Homo-oligomer: A and B are copies of this chain.
């Protein structure tokens, strides 16, 4: 049975936390100076561990075991949301690295660029799986700054390099560890989550068009208040969705913008970003139907509501054999303290699962907090998670 080096594991996590440190968290948006620094730091750690290290044309950091034989691919992402947590992404990478160091052979590690979607969804893992075209790269831009992806890659020093693609025959499968980013493990006093599937999602940006006017002189009867139309529509969604959702379905209006957004001006335009997630495709579809019905209702009012953007990801099922290996390892190291559970968040594993048997292991998030600099996990949970991960990885490689 492999035994990981807990001090070495934590020391690496503490070290990378210093790159882009923000309060007790980190700020490393994709291709920012600190993100690039972290990628080079990680490549050096891969090389130290005896892996062939490279950074490719999309910024993926790849560490390949040069020895012969089939391998297990491990990975996650290294960039963060803005001013976010210190473990989101990097935990899975350092687990992979520590597992490679512990098992000595059979483990590759990949840091997939921009899982956090500063430019687009899963750019790095899609590139690795052959699901990202050059044409899409031409039009991708930073969602906040508008900087084109190509520009950002040039600035980062990665443009012109080839993009690594997965050699499916090389791998037994893909295993990714991650913080839970929810409070389910903590609430049930558990320490390991064995992920059964990753939720799919529907995402919409809805634009409401009304008539900008003076907030004192325009009578209510003749107004076309785009903000009011948005609020009434969203309140109707909030009224309807609980009636047709599953217990674990989630829905979120992450942003609302009124234009021009002045106290004494009736908003002439308004924009809503809305999404929902579930592991069950039929549930996703049922809610989509209701959403469109409410949108049609909204369009009977004085304003028009149109879909400015829509996107979706389909639910991803995790591989049963890999799940069983993680569950078995958890039984050894934390008997009675693991559970099977879905992932409410999206992860690179949902992309990898399209080309490789894939699986995920969760460790608890304190208070369920995530995407915020106060995100944290107890050191003993970090260490236990890695031990379970390494042991599961060894057993997966043993069955080849």
Within 8 A of B (CB), among A254-268: 254-258, 260-268
Q: Which of A203, A217, A251, A263 has the most chain B CB atoms inside 10 A of its CB?
A: A217
Instruction: Knowing A217-B344, A344-B216 are in contact, say whether A227-B251 is a contact too (CB < 8 A).
Output: no
Instruction: Knowing A344-B218, A369-B213 are in contact, say whether A262-B258 is a contact too (CB < 8 A).
Output: no
Report chain B residues within 8 Å CB of A228.
238, 253
Asked whether A180 is an interface residue with its Cβ less than 8 Å from the other chain, the reply is yes
Q: What is the bound-complex CA distance between A222 and B248, given in angstroms?
A: 11
Asked whether A160 is an interface residue with its Cβ less than 8 Å from the other chain, the reply is no
Asked whether A252 is an interface residue with its Cβ less than 8 Å from the other chain, the reply is yes
For the complex formed, measure the closest distance between the CB of A288 and the CB atoms of chain B, giving whole angstroms. Answer: 17
Instruction: Knowing A252-B264, A253-B258, A258-B256 are in contact, say whether A182-B238 is a contact too (CB < 8 A).
Output: no
Instruction: Knowing A255-B261, A256-B258 are in contact, say whether A218-B250 is a contact too (CB < 8 A).
Output: yes
Q: Which residue of B lies closest to A180 (CB)?
A: B217
Asked whether A199 is an interface residue with its Cβ less than 8 Å from the other chain, the reply is yes
Cβ-neighbour of A212 out of B199, B218, B258, B372 (below 8 A): B372
Please state if B225 and A183 are interface contacts (CB–CB under 8 Å). no
Cβ-neighbour of A216 out of B211, B215, B250, B255 (below 8 A): B250
Asked whether A249 is an interface residue with its Cβ less than 8 Å from the other chain, the reply is yes
Please state if A250 and B371 are interface contacts (CB–CB under 8 Å). no
Please state if B252 and A215 are interface contacts (CB–CB under 8 Å). yes
Instruction: Knowing A222-B183, A252-B225, A253-B231 are in contact, say whether A81-B262 is a contact too (CB < 8 A).
Output: yes
Asked whether A304 is an interface residue with its Cβ less than 8 Å from the other chain, the reply is no
Report chain B residues within 8 Å CB of A117.
264
Asked whether A13 is an interface residue with its Cβ less than 8 Å from the other chain, the reply is no
Please state if A216 and B181 are interface contacts (CB–CB under 8 Å). yes
Cβ-neighbour of A227 out of B182, B253, B266, B370 (below 8 A): B253
Report chain B residues within 8 Å CB of A201.
216
Asked whether A300 is an interface residue with its Cβ less than 8 Å from the other chain, the reply is no
Report chain B residues within 8 Å CB of A385.
none
Q: Which residue of B lies closest to A311 (CB)?
A: B263
Interface size on A, residues (CB 8 A): 66
Report chain B residues within 8 Å CB of A257.
256, 261
Please state if B220 and A250 are interface contacts (CB–CB under 8 Å). yes
Q: Which residue of B lies closest to A203 (CB)?
A: B263
Q: Which of A117, A201, A220, A264 has the most chain B CB atoms inside 10 A of its CB?
A: A264
Report chain B residues within 8 Å CB of A266.
252, 254
Asked whether A346 is an interface residue with its Cβ less than 8 Å from the other chain, the reply is yes
Please state if A232 and B222 are interface contacts (CB–CB under 8 Å). no
Which 8 residue pairs across A and B have the least CB separation, nearest first? A182-B217, A235-B235, A216-B344, A216-B345, A215-B252, A217-B344, A214-B370, A181-B217
List A residues at the B interface (Cβ < 8 Å).
81-82, 117, 180-184, 199, 201, 203, 211-220, 222, 225, 227-228, 231-232, 234-235, 238, 242, 245, 247-258, 260-268, 273, 275, 277, 343-346, 365, 368-372
- Can you list 11 contacts pairing A with B, beta carbon distance less than 8 Å? A81-B262, A182-B219, A213-B369, A215-B254, A216-B345, A217-B343, A225-B253, A231-B235, A232-B235, A263-B273, A263-B275
Known: A181-B214, A265-B371. 9 other contacts (CB 8 A): A81-B262, A81-B265, A182-B218, A220-B245, A220-B250, A225-B253, A228-B253, A231-B238, A268-B372
